[in-house]
Each structure stands twice: as structure tokens, then as C-alpha cells.
Structure 1
Amino acid sequence: MRAQHTPHFLTAFPVYSSAFLSPTQLVLGGGGGASRTGVKNKLRVYDVGDNRSITLVDELELERGEDAPMSMATNPEAFPLQAGTLACGVNSPEEKLKTGENQNCRVYAFKEQKLALVGTHGTLISGDLEDFQKVTVLSPDGKLVVAAGTNSLQLLSFPSLAPVALAVKTEKEIYDVTFSQNTLVIATTANLLVYALPSAEVKDSPSKNKKKGKQKAVVPSELELLRTVDAPAAVSGSTGSNFRAARFHPENTDILYTISNTIPARSRARKSTPPQAYVCKWNTKTWAADKVRKVADKGLTTFDISPNGNLLAFGSSDCSVGLLDANTLAPLVTILKSHEFPSTTLKFNPTSRLLVSGSADNTIRVISVPDSAEKSSWALVILILITFLIALLAFAAQQYAGNLL
């Protein structure tokens, strides 16, 4: 299956994060980082045309010494009154990091074609000056946001950024976070940590004390750990695997998708094989793996699911980008050599019609999702039903013939 796609070179702008404010408004975050490379750190808003063209609408240059925006999240349909609001991770300048004043979690608003900072909050608790907000995720209703560093995570109300739970610390490195309506799943290298979300009263923060007529602040409590799910077992030639991403199905939270890269076995006798990549479809009622499929001979770097839940997208360390059928995990589209460097960010637009991949090589690639890819999952379901019906009719005919004899 072929997909139309268009590359765009962005001068001196390595891309590390992306999100859609609307079906056609794309936000990119990137730059040279905290080091003095001369490449400025910025947020940019582009309009994406029907022919996959891009037009720069606004550019917000970050303060001197601040880091590149390494993660971001939007939820265009969750809060219509706050359309154009963006959660983003940006480390403060080094002098503030040293004094513990890192305001890494930020909220930006896009109004009248301009981006503006509207709120900040510090969430990184490790004390490591190299730590950064590598994961930013909004809840389905847009009322909560997660800001995660290497080994810690903070759950905040959105857009106020008030803490609604105590920080979660993990033994293994955090790579991704995903929400259902009632749970929060953290994907670390070694396992999935399934937490219960706090009650609505805690989410709403201050509650009214009727007797005294005063506002009584609700003290955040620890999130309840419901379950730990280990990474998939080792396959031939490996010593195990590491989770790299996790996503709930947007319309059916009984389904969770993960990607994992194998850990090659080390041997002096022979050269170790590169990591292989697998996609797993989990049943969250039983936490059993319903389907597992190898999708690449090298590790995956990025992953996303379309808002309609029909497609999975991934970026590989071999610089390719692929599309899978979310139901069967069957490959649908592969775009070889999408970038010179592996994809650093991958995002569907709200209508599931566009996919954008970005890279540190100063490029993005805008991909039109083929109509046939959208229809393929339904066609397969219909084919399965027809096959089942034929088998059922054949069985009934056989039973009828046997009764006649």
C-alpha cells in the first residue's frame, strides 16, 4: 500500500516534540538544547495544507539558557473553551536548575495566531541537572496532565498545574505514560505500572468547608498501585525486552498497545544482533497479551495511535516510518528513509487523516493516511464474518446430511 508524503527541511531546527492544536495546526518543539550550539530553542506553529504543505504561523523563541521543548501534548476536543492550549516540557536555565527552581512543566496558549506562556510548575525531583521532562500526556477529558522525568512522575490538574497526587518514583527508567478513564499506566523499561486515578473530589482541588465558610485545600495523596505487568519474555538471540511506549485504544480501554525492543544477548564468540521491535496488543481485563507481532529488525524510537483507533504508527532506528492495522497488527504502509536520523516525534492529527514525523536532522515528513488503510480493518472484519458464516453453513449442511442418512 502506498501513502503520499512530503518532506520539509527546517533550517537550524532539530525537532524533538510535536502536537496538533487542530486538524490543520501543528506545533513543533526543538532547537539546540541547553548547550551553547548557537541553535536557538523554539516553539513553532504551522498550518498544514491539503497538499501537505506547511506555512509558518508563529514562532516563540525561548529564553537564553532554557532547554529545547522535549515533549508536549494537546487535546483539541477535550476542552473547547481552552482550544489551543498546550502542555510542554522545557527545562529552565542552568543557574535555576542548581538552586532547585526548575519550572519545567509549562502551559502555552495559542490565541490570535500567537503563542504565549500562561503557567509553569516544577515537577522534577531527582536533583539531577541532566534530568528533563521526557513525557507529557493529557488525560482523555483534558483535566489532568502527567509530567514525567527519567525516574519520577507528577500528576497535575490542567491547565492550573496544581498537584493532585504525590510524585511517583520508579526504579526503572520511564519511557511513556497513557490514560484510561480510571487508570494511569506508566511504561518503564522493565514493566507497566498500573495506577488508579484519584477521585473527582481530589481532581477538583480546593473544597468548600461549609461550617467555617472557608476554602480547605485538599492534600494530595499517593496514587494506588493496582498492578505491575512485566515486559514480554525473551525471544531467541536476546536476554529480554524493554518497553518503549504504551497507548490505550481511544475508544476501547480494554485494549492497550505497547512496543518493546529486545535486549541482544552479549557473546564474545559472535557479534550481537541489533534489537528487534515488537508490538503487543493487551487485554486489560486479564492483562494477557492477545497479539504480538514483530514489526522491525531494529529498535523503535517513536509510536502513536490514531484518534479513531484504527491505525498504529511507529518510527524505527533504521529511519523508516510504518503504519499497522490496530486490530490485526498487520503492516499497511512502510516509508523507508523518512529522515537522515531516526524519528524523534510522531503524531496523528485529530481527524486521523495526517501523520507527522519529526527528527533531529532538521526535517519533518507529512504523511497522508491512505483511504485504503482506513478501510482495511473493516474489510478484514467483514471477511472474517463471511468466512465464519460459510463455515457455520457448511457445518449445518453436514449435520443435516448426517441426519438424513
Structure 2
Amino acid sequence: MGNENKIENCLASFNTEYPIYSLALRGDKLFVGGGKPNQLPILSCYSIKEKEFKLVSKQEFKDNVHFVSSIAIHPKERLIACGINNTEEAIEKSDDGNKSCKIFKFKNNEFQLINELHSLKGDALNDFQNNTKFNADGTLLLTAGTDGLITMFDTVDYKPIFVRDQGESVLDTHFNETGSLAVSISSKRLVVFKSANGSIVYEISNPTFNGKKEATFAAARFGHGLSKNKLFIIANIDTKRSILCTIDLSNWEKMHSKSILKSNNIKKIDISPSGSYIVYVTADNLIGLIETKTLRVIIRVKTDELTNNDDIITSICYTKEEKEIIIGTDQGHCKLLLLERTRESIIKSVLVSVSIISMLCILVLIIYTILLSRIETKTKFTEDYDEL
């Protein structure tokens, strides 16, 4: 479907007074992280019941700076892991430096700090932990930062199992369905490694398209459910094209490579609960939905009807529904969206299809008439010649 479609009205929404930079959902609780530069980071919790958001808790954190850069929720316990930098003053007072990974227990609708971990190379406050992920059973915690450092923690005692260096800012990370593998993405490097010891099992560096055009990686997701044997990779060419590539996890061979966009770049993706769909967000806030089985884009949505023109979508996450997502923006807008075509857009598509078919029929009729006319003229000339 090449044209942009309207979608059903927003199912629910709310506004914050601060930019949103991270979202995480578990059950009916949505955790929102954000904050303004050089101000206190803010962590909030909203309940979602009957398609309505309700603020449950909101907390600002002293001795910390900037914003909550990433969030992950433990799948079994009431624990939240976040990327939050300490202030310069707090770092100077402490011998431990910048412990940029914070572990909170959410109890009695309050965020109780229970642990702080080192997840960055040094104490530079211009670097931050922009990736935080628990594996499916919650036994592992993966962190990665803009400084390229990747750390795998054991969640029993939160001791590092191993540390890896991506070599450049990490853009995306993800666990496979069993948690045995993890993938890390930076602009020029994709690495799949074992969660147990960090050993590399698959790697691509300096990607090119058709062996000629330079590309940059943007995001990656392991499939699960119906697509559990695949790794989905998004790469961008210049600023005008996005490619989706699938890797077969059984032999690490490329299965498919397909152009998804020819006039834009994808910056973020997420995969649906069943593994049947991938949702993406582009640099200019276009949202799209891809079938993982066919790699076909089934819907594209311009978000100017959903957000203000100056909004930038900073985070997305799936709900438990296949076509429901939550988006957060740098202007503090958060919306629950149903990615389905409206009756209006369906009728419009049908009318457009009917119009195209009608035009083709008319064109065929015109061509037939012209050809018939030429045949008759040729026959007449032949008869006249025979008479001579």
C-alpha cells in the first residue's frame, strides 16, 4: 500500500510537562521516562484501563541529571531498570563515579532505589545509557550506551557477567526469544553474541547495498512466535531509502532483502506480541506496519494528524494487542494508537481502485478503436490497389 492512510481515532492520550524519551509497558502499567536537559529526570507510572490513562505515580530524582534515557521492566518482579546519569556534584562526592544504571522497586506506587550499577566507560555526562533490556525470564539485564559500552548483568546479584565494546554509539539492542542470544546495533556494526559469555556468533561491519552503496544500520529485532527463527535488520542508504533484511538463525544466511521506503529513513522499530508485525517510525514521524511473513508494508500513517507538527516521536512500544502501539514525543505527548485503516480510507481505496480499473478499461477501448480503425483503413487501401 503506497499511500498514507488515516487510522482510527486515538484510543487514549495524555500530555506531560516534560519531554518523553523512553516507554515500557507491563500489563496495565505504562512507565514513562523523560526530563529536560540539565534538570531533574522524571519517572512516571500510568495505568491503562478501558483505553484510558490515569497517573499513578510521578517522581523526580535528586543527585541525577538530564533525563531517563531508557527503561526496562522486569517480566516477573516489580523492578524497573533505567538509564539515569548522576550529577557532577554527586560524582565528586562519591568514590564510585557515575553509576548510570538505576534499579528501582515499584512498591506502594513509589519508586524505591535498590541498586546502582556502572554501565558507561567513564563519568562524562554527555554519554548516557540509551539501551536497557531484560531477557524473557528476567535473569539477565543488558545495558548499552552512547559510548559503545555493552554490559550483561546477572539479576541475582547484579554483577557483570561480561563487558563488550561496540566501538561506537549503540543504537539498538534485543534478546532472542529464549534469551540465549542478544544483538547490538551501531551505525556501522551489527553483532550477535551469546548472552552467557559475550562470544560473537554473527557479525556484519561496514554494510553496503548491492556491494556498492554505503549503508548504516538503524535497528534490529529477533523474531518470536511465528517468526522466532529470523533476525530482522533495518539499514538506511543515504537519507532516502530504508532496507529490511532477514537473517535465518539456523544457518545465518540472508533470506530476504527488501526496500521498505524509497524517500525516507527508519529510525525505530518494535515487533508485535505474536511476531507477525513490525512497526516502524521514520525520521519525519511516518509510522508503518510490516508483515513479517511477507515483508509487505500493509499500512503507512502520517502522524501530523496525531501530534503537533514540531513533535518528534522518541519512543514506541507495543501493547499486548497486535496492532496497538504507544508513542511518546519530545513535546511530552503520549498516545495509544490502533494501527488499522478507517472505513473512510478503505472506501477511498476501493473508489481509487474502481477509478483506476475504469480508466484502464477506457484506455483499452480507445486502443482497440484505434487499432480497428487502422485495420479497416488498411483493408480499404488493399481493395483499391487490387482494383487497379
Q: CA 1:70–1:62 in 2, change beyond 3 Å: closer, same or farther?
A: same
Q: What pairs up with 1:308-387 in 2 under 5 angstroms?
A: 308-336=274-302, 337=304, 338-339=306-307, 340-352=310-322, 354-370=324-340
**CA drift at 1:234:** 2.8
Structure 2 residue 294 is matched with structure 1 residue 294: no
The one-character-per-residue Cα deviations of 1:226-255 (angstroms, maximum 9, x if unpaired) are 23124642369x841111111111235420
The one-letter code of the counterpart of 1:367 is: L
Aligned residue in 2 for 1:12:
17
Q: CA 1:231–1:324 in 2, change beyond 3 Å: closer, same or farther?
A: farther
Structure 2 residue 222 is matched with structure 1 residue 248: yes
Aligned residue in 2 for 1:57:
56
**CA drift at 1:288:** 2.6
Q: CA 1:15–1:8 in 2, change beyond 3 Å: closer, same or farther?
A: same
Q: CA 1:114–1:350 in 2, change beyond 3 Å: closer, same or farther?
A: farther
The one-character-per-residue Cα deviations of 1:366-401 (angstroms, maximum 9, x if unpaired) are 1125499xxxxxxxxxxxxxxxxxxxxxxxxxxxxx
Q: CA 1:367–1:127 in 2, change beyond 3 Å: closer, same or farther?
A: same
The one-character-per-residue Cα deviations of 1:66-113 (angstroms, maximum 9, x if unpaired) are 23111111253xx2xx1x321111111123446661121122222333
Q: CA 1:110–1:30 in 2, change beyond 3 Å: closer, same or farther?
A: same
Q: CA 1:87–1:125 in 2, change beyond 3 Å: closer, same or farther?
A: same
Q: What pairs up with 1:134-153 in 2 under 5 angstroms?
A: 134-150=130-146, 151-153=148-150
Give, in whole Å, the separation in 1 of the partners of 2:264 and 2:271. Answer: 20
The one-character-per-residue Cα deviations of 1:241-282 (angstroms, maximum 9, x if unpaired) are 1111111112354201111221x3xxxxxxxxx342222222
**CA drift at 1:18:** 0.2
- Runs of 5+ consecutive residues of structure 1 not aligned to the other structure: 199-221, 265-273, 373-405
**CA drift at 1:177:** 1.4
Secondary structure at the residue paired with 1:321? strand
**CA drift at 1:353:** 5.3
| Structure 2 residue corresponding to 1:195, chosen from 158, 170, 193 | 193
The one-character-per-residue Cα deviations of 1:208-239 (angstroms, maximum 9, x if unpaired) are xxxxxxxxxxxxxx622223124642369x84
**Number of positions where the alignment pairs a residue of Structure 1 with one of Structure 2:** 326
The one-character-per-residue Cα deviations of 1:327-346 (angstroms, maximum 9, x if unpaired) are 11212232212433332111
Matched-pair identity in % = 21
Aligned residue in 2 for 1:163:
160
| TM-score for both structures, normalised by structure 1 | 0.74
Is contact 1:302–1:343 with CA below 8 Å preserved after alignment? no
**CA drift at 1:197:** 2.4
Secondary structure at the residue paired with 2:317? strand
The one-character-per-residue Cα deviations of 1:30-72 (angstroms, maximum 9, x if unpaired) are 1103x25xxx42111112233x331111111121542311111
Aligned residue in 2 for 1:219:
none
Is contact 1:157–1:164 with CA below 8 Å preserved after alignment? yes
Secondary structure at the residue paired with 2:232? strand
Q: CA 1:235–1:358 in 2, change beyond 3 Å: closer, same or farther?
A: farther
Secondary structure at the residue paired with 1:163? strand
Secondary structure at the residue paired with 1:132? coil
The one-letter code of the counterpart of 1:304 is: D
Structure 2 residue 234 is matched with structure 1 residue 259: yes
The one-letter code of the counterpart of 1:41 is: P
Q: What pairs up with 1:194-233 in 2 under 5 angstroms?
A: 194-198=192-196, 223-230=198-205, 232-233=207-208
